[in-house]
Chain A
Amino acid sequence: DTGVSQDPRHKITKRGQNVTFRCDPISEHNRLYWYRQTLGQGPEFLTYFQNEAQLEKSRLLSDRFSAERPKGSFSTLEIQRTEQGDSAMYLCASSPGQGAGEQFFGPGTRLTVL
């Protein structure tokens, strides 16, 4: 399977704990995106990498959120001091450097903060 993969698929944590999610993009894609999706809504953009450089961050990405993409391959999204409002599906997508900009999505990580 050469699609986008995410780990874990589900995470349940207690309020105040830190969590980290991983995304492995399609291997030849140099652009990687993180989105958050809450129930009944469309995905909302969080942040974007081109290779290892983080080029854009949404205002949704508070100081408790940090993302990295070392060596321009996989990416991690960390949430510190989780809050109940962080409960959502976290989606990762990747795209090649050319073309219409279509993005290919992973299955997502569902976070539940108790």
Chain B
Amino acid sequence: GNSVTQMEGPVTLSEEAFLTINCTYTATGYPSLFWYVQYPGEGLQLLLKATKADDKGSNKGFEATYRKETTSFHLEKGSVQVSDSAVYFCALRGPSGSARQLTFGSGTQLTVLP
């Protein structure tokens, strides 16, 4: 079945530091890949997505590239801000014709210090 393995947290960085959160997946075919963010006390929000190999999703300074050869979708940001403190979830959805639900990783808690 489908699975997502995400970098263990928590991660603590200083403001303006470079961020990488690793995500690898197991799936048949070509899944769609997503990063969701959950701010304290709020619901999950879609941060970015990629639907095919070598696609780069980007939003709010965050980027992730769909790497089929390494089955990875690592999240990066060049300069984090205190407001980026949240829990980040990597997720996949199977290709068309397969299960419709999202499979999530366990989440990575990010804390950015001023």
Return chain A residues, CB-CB under 8 Å to B91: 42
B11-19, B77-85, B103-111 - interface stretch: B103-111
**B24 interface residue, CB < 8 Å from A?**
no
Question: Does any Cβ of B come within 8 Å of A91's Cβ?
Answer: yes
Partner of A104 from B4, B32, B46, B104 at Cβ < 8 Å: B46
**Given the complex of chains A and B, what is the CA–CA distance between A48 and B102 in angstroms?**
11
A65 at interface (Cβ–Cβ under 8 A)? no
How far does the Cβ of A38 sit from chain B's closest Cβ, in whole Å?
A: 10
Which of the four size classes fits the interface of chain B?
A: 20 to 34
Count of A-B contacts with CB under 8 A?
61
The reply to whether A107 and B42 contact each other, CB–CB distance below 8 Å, is: yes
By a CB distance below 8 angstroms, the chain A residues around B89 are: 42-43
Say how far B22's CB is from chain A's closest CB, in angstroms.
15
- Check if B43 sits within 8 Å of A40, measured CB to CB: no
Distance in angstroms from B30 CB to nearest chain A CB is 12
Q: How far is the CA of A35 from the CA of B89 in the complex (A)?
A: 14
Complex CA distance for A100 and B103, rounded to whole angstroms: 14
Identify the A interface with B (CB < 8 A): 4, 31, 33, 35, 40-45, 48, 55-56, 58, 91, 93, 100-108
Residues in B lying within 8 Å of A, measured CB to CB: 4, 6, 32, 34, 36, 42-46, 49, 51, 89, 91, 93, 99-107
